Structure 1
Amino acid sequence: MLENVVTDELRLLPARAAQFVRRYPVPPRETYAPELRISILGVLIHCAAVRGEAFVAFQLLRRCGLPGDYYLHVDVVDEALMILDQFEVTEDACNHAFGPNWRQVIRHAIDVAEILHSDFHSLTRTESLVGSHRRLSAWIAARDAAWEAGRIKSWYRAQDAAWEREYMDDATVRLDDRLCADTAAAVRDAAAAVALADLVGTADFNRVHYETLIAPWCRARNDMETTPVDLSERATSQATATSQPDRLCAVTAGVAAPTTL
Structure 2
Amino acid sequence: MLNIGCHLSVSKGYKHLGLQALSIGANTFQFFTRNPRGSKAKQIDVNDVAALLDLMQEHQFAALLGHAPYTMNPCSNDPYLREFARAVMVEDLAKMEYLPNNLYNFHPGSHVGQGVEAGIGFIAELLNQVMWSEQTTTVLLETMSGKGSEVGSSFDELSQILKKVNLVEKMGVCLDTCHVYSAGYDIVNNLDGVLEQFDKSIGIKNLKAIHLNDSMTSFNSKKDRHALIGAGTIGAEAIADIINHPQLRNLPFYLETPNDVPGYAQEIKLLREVYGK
TM-score bracket relative to the smaller structure = under 0.3
> Scaled by the length of structure 2, what TM-score is found?
0.26
Larger radius of gyration: 1
> Scaled by the length of structure 1, what TM-score is found?
0.27
Higher strand share: 2
